[in-house]
Structure 1
């Protein structure tokens, strides 16, 4: 069993003073590349958290820091070219999101350090050798989404006791090989243990969303579940709107989905993983090797509920669930 490590947020304060002093003494301006799957507007809160984390550690744009951004605009095929651009720009370090972005960065360079702000299973994906000792030039934060599937389905059962058919939105190509096979098995096993069946809907482009949800409604799907694939995150608002239109209860993996109109969500605060990515950046700038920095996993998960959406769907959220919720929108 993998030991989950807590995010060492306290280290932000410990390292900030020394890092800032070192930068001021040397006059060094650090160049960081960011390789994004989506676009700047949809990833604003994550980028703000990364920049704030860096500021807390003494790195400030315009003084001792430059961030070079490259955005794929939801087109995975663009990632290799964008990663190559960052390498050509001679950045000191690259920050990535997700498996496709991390894979593209790894293929582009074996020498420039790479910090994965948020990635699924980097071991099964072949990105690193192990969580404890990644090896190579990658390290960062891992969120094992499939491990949370059972909990989310249990929440569905709590809200909709007779639920048996659950739709799942996913983005083909986000994960590969063993991760895809193992993840699918984990989802099916979790659903089977609760007497549910999962029906998958691959979303390759935004236009697929409307047809997928219309099909779910036609097939009398009881609930809709989704993860944190970048293509889905960008369109949280549209997914939530279509779900209410088709009277489909929804559960997401991030509280941002609830803020966009989703019914409820259970998962990691992804924005905080971006803030924590700054700790990795600082350690590497100060001389640590990515190969020796263990990949960390969060231990705190957030349960969020949107009572306005529940009302629109004609659902009553059990009081016991509301008492456990970390955030309730009403």
Structure 2
């Protein structure tokens, strides 16, 4: 099993010394090999921030993509997965434990875990997924040339297009409220982007910050707005039912940034296919295992956006989704 690799290049050297050849660079849709016999044994330490359907889908996509690339858990892949359930102190402990471990490569789902790992691990590769703004988060120097041992995939979405979805549903919308976690820099970046995008669209964006999921309902109730919008924010998404409850009680539209939240009761979302993003991330992990250097491996962005709608949920909020929105939807719940 590979141990203490400094970069993907060092991993490649170890593979050559062991007599293992490498194949052409795989992608999220092009497996590295059809079997596991030609692949090295590799140990991966993965960590998320909290349990919710979108991040769970990313993780399942990563496992699927790694298997397609020839790395099968329990065969030539040892995969440890940790979840601090949103607790920062527990996340720090997990990161320190991983730093002292023999894992060859690390995977971080969302911004806080990626930051926690990057603070204590510089001698082995870290691949992140679902990090909205890796530059603002201090994870990479540049999107095209990350510069160190960290790279991955971003779920950054076009905020103006998301607000336009709200306008399509509510043409007279004047105010939109965003509840976001002050502990997630990715959420702060999106909230600021939404404020700027709103100015161009004639929408005033109001915000309320929280520190944990138990505060979501009160924060939502503090906003007197025409509609609510949830950015890519793991803390808020983990309490989506609270947002739905407030939206229904106040008869206000709720639009989100992930399709799973639409299934859970939001009215609509222009969002990334998170399982597909996991598969895409797995392609990067496989390339780094096989020799790519994270320092020069560009950050990748989600390859597709889809509109999901839930007409029944919208009706419970006192809103009827227009036909043009229903026709654009890739998924209807």
* TM-score between the two structures when normalised by the length of structure 1: 0.87
In structure 1, what is the equivalent of residue 195 of structure 2? 188
- Post-superposition CA distance 1:40-91 (Å, at most 9, x none): 8884333222211111112112211111122121122332221111122210
Q: How does 1:31-46 map to 2 (within 5 A)?
A: 31-39=43-51, 43-46=55-58
* Bigger mean CA deviation after superposition, 302-311 or 234-243: 234-243
Q: Is the 8 A contact 1:134 1:294 kept in 2?
A: yes
- Among 273, 276, 279, the alignment partner of 1:272 is 276
How far does residue 211 in structure 1 lie from its aligned partner after superposition? 1.2
Matched, 1:243 2:247: yes
In structure 2, what is the equivalent of residue 293 of structure 1? 297
In structure 1, what is the equivalent of residue 8 of structure 2? none
How far does residue 29 in structure 1 lie from its aligned partner after superposition? 3.1
Distance 2:196 2:108 in 1: 31
SS at the partner of 1:20? coil
How far does residue 184 in structure 1 lie from its aligned partner after superposition? 4.8
Q: How does 1:44-63 map to 2 (within 5 A)?
A: 44-63=56-75
Distance 1:68 1:42 in 2: 19
Matched, 1:16 2:33: yes
Distance 1:130 1:305 in 2: 35
Distance 1:328 1:184 in 2: 27
Number of aligned residues: 308
Distance 1:61 1:40 in 2: 22
Matched, 1:116 2:135: no
Q: Is the 8 A contact 1:42 1:234 kept in 2?
A: no
Distance 2:77 2:282 in 1: 12
In structure 1, what is the equivalent of residue 9 of structure 2? none
- Among 150, 159, 175, the alignment partner of 1:138 is 150
Provide closer, same or farther for how the CA distance between residues 256 and 162 of structure 1 changes in structure 2, counting only shifts above 3 A. Answer: same
In structure 1, what is the equivalent of residue 312 of structure 2? 308
Distance 1:293 1:207 in 2: 38
How far does residue 183 in structure 1 lie from its aligned partner after superposition? 4.7
Distance 1:310 1:188 in 2: 24
Provide closer, same or farther for how the CA distance between residues 271 and 242 of structure 1 changes in structure 2, counting only shifts above 3 A. Answer: farther
Structure 1: 4+ residue segments shifted above 6 A: none
In structure 1, what is the equivalent of residue 266 of structure 2? 262
How far does residue 124 in structure 1 lie from its aligned partner after superposition? 2.6
SS at the partner of 1:132? coil
SS at the partner of 2:235? helix
SS at the partner of 1:62? coil
* Bigger mean CA deviation after superposition, 165-174 or 69-78: 69-78
Q: Is the 8 A contact 1:302 1:326 kept in 2?
A: yes
Distance 1:208 1:274 in 2: 29
Distance 1:45 1:99 in 2: 16
Matched, 1:71 2:83: yes
Name the Cα RMSD after superposition.
2.2
- Post-superposition CA distance 1:104-162 (Å, at most 9, x none): 111111111000122111123221121111111011102224xx221111111111122
How far does residue 173 in structure 1 lie from its aligned partner after superposition? 2.1
Compare the two structures and name the one with the higher helix fraction: 1
Q: Is the 8 A contact 1:38 1:72 kept in 2?
A: yes
Q: Is the 8 A contact 2:273 2:305 kept in 1?
A: yes
